[in-house]
Chain A
Amino acid sequence: MLTLLIVLLLIGAAAAWLAEQRSASAPRLVALATLGLALLLLLPLLFNTANGALIAVQGDSWLLLERHAWIPRFGISWLLAMDGMSLLLVLLTLVLGLIAIAASWTEIGERQGFFYFNLLACLAGVVGVFTALDLLLFFVFWEVMLIPVYFLIGIWGHEERHYAALKFVIFTQASSLLMLISIIGLAYLHQQQHGSYSFDYFALLGSGSESPYSFWLMLGLFIALVVKLPAFPLHTWLADAHTQAPTAGSVILAGVLLKTGAYGLIRFLIPLFPDSLESFAAVGMTLGVIGIFYGALLAFAQYDLKRLVAYSSISHMGFILLGVYAWNALSLQGAVMQMLTHGFSAAALFMLAGAIQQRIHSRDMRQMGGFWKQAPRMAAIALFFAMASLGIPGLGNFIAEFLILIGSFQASVTATLLATFGLVGAAVYSLIMIQRVFQGPQQSSHTLADFDRREQGTMAVMMLALLLLGLYPQPALDLLQPVIAQLQALGQTSSSQLAGVMP
């Protein structure tokens, strides 16, 4: 079923490319249908879990698990699995995929077939990343999701797209190399200890902590993941990539791709290297807090609307890093919630920036102002997402940040104090954005059309999602609860005690 999902997306990608020969606008319909079908495929799973009928496949938190031999000689298998966390993130991926298509509906005019091919191929890679439990398979999907983004930025991006795309590729490929080295190192260690190579997640759990090189292996994986997150000081690819990417690219980058880094930290880094919680937590939390402030400060300083949103993402991802390294039920639930809610709020803000750029051909906020009068709906919607971004209670982002902070308070009071005052920074840059774009005297040089039906509908989906996650987050939290409980157990035990968890 999980294989089917990924294959479906890949077939859809190929079909979209081929469909271009029929008509220029056929690819987007194919893409839309593919994602719709993929969502339908997941629907029964959601209802099963909602009824409490968990399909207990493995341990107690896995909903689905498939294992096929792939390269048995090196212990590499086609191992895909899904638990509540993967399910939520895959759902986020597919929904944001739909939103990305809606965002490119009129924006992308040329080479539509190849565009939607890349979009779907990237999503297939992301779904793979969120479900793969074989480390090498994980790495393969990690690469699959990155290369299409290079094309998305490089071909359909804005004025400095080549520079941004190249920077993106260099950062991600260099860090992927580190990840590959760490993964192979872990498999090699397994061979040393047990006589055979293995890339199996369940076989490697906790094993990283038992080797003399564990710190270096951990560091390699850590760097690879936080480049993606991104954390200070490895964030510099992000502003260029987000700014230059077409709207759909920014939506996917901010909404989904950043989350793969956070997901990797929670799913792989800590369970594989549980000792690092003790030795490395201080570094992780410090980087998180620095990211919160540094991102906020940079966001505040920008005149480019997309750059502002991009830097605000760094600030929000800092909270995730803090929550992960606090590693308790509250903070982890918060971190996963933050992935979901930031996925929607950042995607919406990028779509807003894209819509404005499409209308006035500029992202420079010095050329904007007073748009409230011309586009009141757009202004109200922007205000809604600015409020989500600064963490107004009632919207999902508050639940996420509240849970992260109340959890991390029990791990580190100092880091939490600082991070909480980071919320003031979020207020400053969010409100200055509203001021510069929508308030103040009206700029006469531009006329701005308000959101049309398609854009209003897309925004409404994201607004409803954030409201639901803010006012009634319990279903999502319940879905995560067994996953988090198991992860927590993994973080506290060494591999010798893990016999019960291994299949």
Chain B
Amino acid sequence: MLKLLWLIPTLPLLSSLVLMLGAGRHSKTLVASCGVGSVGLAALITLSIAAGFNADDSHRQLLWHWFSVAGLSTDFALYLDGLSLVMLMVVTGIGFLIHLYAAGYMYDDPDYARFFACMNLFLAAMLILILADNLVLLYLGWEAVGLCSYLLIGFWYQDPANGMAARKAFVITRVGDAALIIGLFLLYAELGSLDIATLMSAANERWPNGSTTATVAALLLLGGAVGKSAQLPLQSWLPDAMAGPTPVSALIHAATMVTAGVYLIARCHPLFMLSSVAMTTVAVVGLLTLLLSGCSALVQTDIKRILAYSTISQIGYMFLALGVGAWSAAIFHLVTHAFFKALLFLCAGSVILALQHRQEITEMGGLGRRMPFIFGCFLIGCACLAALPFTSGYFSKEPILAQAWAQSPLLWFGGALGALITALYSFRLIFVVFFGELTTEPKPLQRPGWVALKMPSALALLALLALFGGALELPLATVLPGIEAHPPLLIAALNTLIPILGVLACYSLYRLNPELLVRLKQLPGSAALRQFWQQGWGFDRLYDRLLRHPVLWLARVNRNDVADRLSQGIVALSRLSHQLLVEVQSGQVRWYAGIMTCGIVLLIGLGVFI
């Protein structure tokens, strides 16, 4: 089965090409079966490879030599080990369910084929990123993921705001990409290779622990990771990325794109372990991001934006885990997060469709009785997100907090505070959207029979995965260094209790005691703080002031190119001398005689005195 590895990224790629070249002429049935089927087939191949995969194995498949110049040799080669296998399963598996759902969700859209072409390309790019055997190929996947996110966020291109959000995502992640590729230059200049395995062993041999070069290289890779994974300080594109159709959001948040940064750091973990400075930076970036975006999630009113901020926050947990050395816990959280975040987004999509594209939670309420199936799924998703005991989120978040405690109580405290906030904002969603009085009457979805089945079946499967995914055993033991942390009983108990406390607090605020919430909102400074949080801690405004406006200003004043003044100056100068000479040619004999006399006097004077 390993021989079929190349088919996994190729199938979605081919399907994408077919759909693109078809240029919208294919029937919807064909488009859906091509778009969903190719991903499903890729998922099947992944499963069969996984079934025969020995956790200690690694496998390299050479497709062709890409380019080799003066000692820099790069192949189109795929590399499979436990880590890439786990990622493969997440991307193809979750990707398939999202595609299945999308086949129903996007059924009314006139650009059905273009949508699936981009979605398939997105998956293919992510699969190449995961399977890349060298950093240049990884960078290819990395950039292609950015391109597809651009295409999909701006999918409804008629609205300029969507185009703006798409460009914002592309450009901000590109800033991170620039850091990443500079990291590649540095690694090549220092270690003479860009092959990941060679690079990591060479780094271990040549760089001592704590070497400055290792730190710089690791920080540059981190720069790329924070861009794609929407962490501080490049997180501001993700909330705006909600402009795309909801399945796109699910894909970006669960299966592709934002997990890429986590994967990159895990893949290059030997490099990061050489530098405690880099590790601490990763942990601190994760911690700050998870707290800041958690606070923002508390005050958002758009259901998709709440989920977006929660993603940033959960990826923050993964970065925290990576930073404290809980490598496999980070990947485990990535996996469970993919389950429940895909579930949450797709449920949100169903809610939005039922309410005729309303997204404000203030316009929702009491949906629990009208949409019991969606309510159940959403509840499961939120329970996982809040890490309530025995859900998958609990099993993955608990080891992160335990390891954080082992590293530094401060990191643990931040993480635990984040867990409280997570429980608050996730159950705020539940109580506002599904409880209380009915605000907007949901409209049942009109879809032909077979299409109608796709959405609930995808949701049901995801709900099962989210509930029981915690029991999964990931084949990471040989790839990532494992650390068993046993925190004191009190800490372990707190880790379990805090989410429950959060849910209870939320219940009392939103159901038992709404007056308390009102009074909270009337506290002095509360409105300003909420606005500040809602706008994502003012990062957009900061970047506008610092970068965007100066560049726009410079572009505006220099639209006609200052350097062109040079040639304009030459033109002006020759015009001027022309005019001066014209003045001299007056046609008056007196004037000519006068000038002549002056000239003679001048010449004689020069002859006499010099």
Q: What are some 16 contacts across the A-B interface (CB < 8 A)?
A: A232-B563, A239-B561, A330-B70, A376-B23, A393-B139, A398-B140, A406-B185, A416-B185, A420-B178, A420-B182, A421-B175, A428-B167, A431-B150, A471-B66, A474-B67, A477-B69
Which 10 pairs of residues, A with B, have the shortest CB-CB distance? A329-B70, A301-B555, A393-B140, A439-B157, A409-B185, A233-B563, A236-B564, A301-B559, A435-B163, A431-B167
Q: Which of B67, B177, B556 contacts A301 (CB 8 A)?
A: B556
**B23, B174, B182, B563: which contacts A416 (Cβ < 8 A)?**
B182
Contacts A235-B563, A392-B147, A431-B171; A402 near B20 (Cβ below 8 A): no
Q: Which residues of B contact A162 (CB under 8 A)?
A: none
Once the chains are docked, how many angstroms separate the CA of A170 from the CA of B574? Answer: 13
By the criterion CB–CB under 8 Å, are A393 and B24 in contact? Answer: no
Chain B window 371-406, contacts with chain A (Cβ cutoff 8 Å), 1 for yes, 0 for no:
000000000000000000000000000000000000
Name B554's contact: one of A297, A330, A409, A421 (CB within 8 Å). Answer: A297
- Does A377 interact with chain B (Cβ within 8 Å)? yes
| Interface presence of A387 (CB below 8 A) | yes
Hey, which chain B residues are within 8 Å of A115, CB to CB? none
| Whole-angstrom CA separation of A439 from B175 in the bound complex | 24
Task: A125 to B175: give the CA distance in the assembly, Å.
Answer: 42
B42-72 interface code vs A (CB 8 A; 1 in, 0 out): 0000000000000000000000111111101
Distance A372 CA – B558 CA, assembled complex (angstroms): 30
B interface SS class? helix
CB neighbours of A372 from chain B (8 A): 157
Q: How large is the interface on A (under 10, 10 to 19, 20 to 34, 35 or more residues)?
A: 35 or more
Residue of B nearest to A299 (CB): B555
Contacts of A29 in B (CB 8 A): none
The reply to whether B160 and A441 contact each other, CB–CB distance below 8 Å, is: yes
Contacts of B143 in A (CB 8 A): 392-393, 398
Bound-state CA distance A239–B554 (Å) is 18
**Is the beta-carbon distance between B174 and A423 smaller than 8 angstroms?**
yes
Interface 0/1 of A407-432, CB less than 8 Å to B? 00110000011001101100110011
Residue of B nearest to A240 (CB): B564
Given contacts A239-B561, A329-B70, contact A406 B188 (CB under 8 A): yes
Interface centre among A329, A405, A423, A431, by most B CB within 10 Å?
Answer: A431
- Residues on the B chain within 8 Å of A297, using CB: 551, 554-555, 558
CA A328 to CA B72, docked complex, whole Å: 13
User: What is the chain B residue whose CB lies nearest that of A399?
Assistant: B67
- 13 new A-B contacts at CB < 8 Å, known A301-B559, A474-B66: A237-B567, A300-B551, A333-B69, A333-B70, A370-B158, A376-B24, A380-B20, A392-B144, A393-B136, A393-B144, A409-B185, A424-B174, A440-B163
Q: Is the CB of B563 within 8 A of A236?
A: yes
A360 at the interface (CB under 8 A from B): no
Interface centre among B76, B160, B166, B556 (most CB of A within 10 A): B160
* A134-173 interface (Cβ within 8 A of B): 167, 170-171
**Among the listed B64, B136, B150, B558, which residue makes an inter-chain contact with A298, where contact means beta carbons less than 8 Å apart?**
B558
Q: Does B186 contact A (CB under 8 A)?
A: yes
Please give me the residue from chain A that is nearest to B125 by CB atom: A394
Chain B CB within 8 A of A472 CB: yes
Cβ of A473 within 8 Å of any chain B Cβ, yes or no, is: yes
Q: How far is the CA of A296 from the CA of B185 in the complex (A)?
A: 23
* B410: Cβ under 8 A from any A Cβ: no
A369-384 to B contact mask, C-beta < 8 Å, 1/0: 0101000110010000
Answer yes or no: A486 CB below 8 A from chain B CBs: no
Complex CA–CA separation, A171 to B554 (angstroms): 27
Contacting pair B160 A405 (CB below 8 A): no
